[in-house]
Amino acid sequence: MHDTPNRQYKDRLFTSYFSDKARLIEAYNAIAGKDYPQDTEIEFKMLENVLFLSKLNDIAFTIEDRLIVLIEHQSTINPNMCLRMLMYASKLYAQKADDNALFHSTLEKIPTPEFFVIYNGQDAYPDKTVLRLSDAFKEKTDAPSLELIVPVYNIAKGHNAELLGKCAPLSHYSSFVTTVNDRIKSSGKIYSMEALAEAIDFAIRYCKERGIMADYLENHGEVREMLIEEWSDELYQKVQFEEAREKARKEGLEEGREEGREEGREEGREEGREEGRENIARNALAKGVPLELIHDITGLDIETIKNLSL
């Protein structure tokens, strides 16, 4: 018997679309190379009475003796996915396990874990890559005592044609998101809420007419509002970050000029660049921009960025 979604939590498009059991099984079959029939029983797993874990684009479910966590990253790849998956798995297993059973003489069996990330962003990214928890270890070892492996599949336009050819729901989802992004780009107003709303309206009409996610779009009138809220959150972060970056860039250049006297001009420029990166990070932190995104833009390591907030 499978659970039904808890609608106290606001869905993102990904979780809303793939909370349908048949779509989810088809997507899992394509990604994992399985062949489960669509009437296979699945059970959605919840944390804190919320179906989709702690983030709005994360899904966890069991199928037979497997525990699957599936996460979508629409914009920026998070290098901490393995740690995130480890925390999910430990919490889900803790919910299942009987505390007393952990001290019994018999082995407590647990579902076999599988972790997958779907990338649907616009940045350059390979068709498939594999993230490992051991990559985050401060001290490297050839045989880590703990390992967790997460394959990441890029389903954005121009990627993984074979995978998408096996799964209509994944293909349709990719096409819909691509249609929205392409429409925003063509408007020339990538930071405009008006352009965002128009792109979403266009994508809904366009995809309905071509049978792309048509049944879902027809039966979910809240899609427009859901997407405007989802994309506007990301848009706000981008706008705030761009403003912080431009301000810090100017401050950094000015500091570089002041310190770059004739006898040490190159050193002054380098210091100015470093100051600029740190100022970018400080302003971005103040705006609530995620650490991983600040790292990607500035090149500063995560520990340095954290220390800037102290």
Q: What is the pLDDT of residues 273-293, one digit of tens each?
A: 566 677 777 777 776 666 776
Residue 160's alpha-carbon distances to 6, 35, 157, 165, in angstroms, are 32, 19, 9, 8
Residue 96's alpha-carbon distances to 53, 99, 172, 186, in angstroms, are 15, 9, 35, 49
In tens, the pLDDT along 18-36 reads: 999 999 999 999 999 999 9
Is 176:207 a contact under the CB 8 Å cutoff? yes
- pTM summary value: 0.71
pLDDT for 96: 75
Q: How far is Cα 76 from Cα 84, in angstroms, rounded to an integer?
A: 15
In tens, the pLDDT along 45-102 reads: 876 544 444 455 788 999 999 999 998 886 666 788 898 899 888 888 888 777 677 7
Strands (E), 46-177: 58-63, 66-73, 112-119, 128-132, 149-154
* Edge-first strand listing for the sheet containing 149-154: 42-44, 58-63, 66-73, 112-119, 149-154, 128-132
The one-letter code for the residue type at 38 is Q
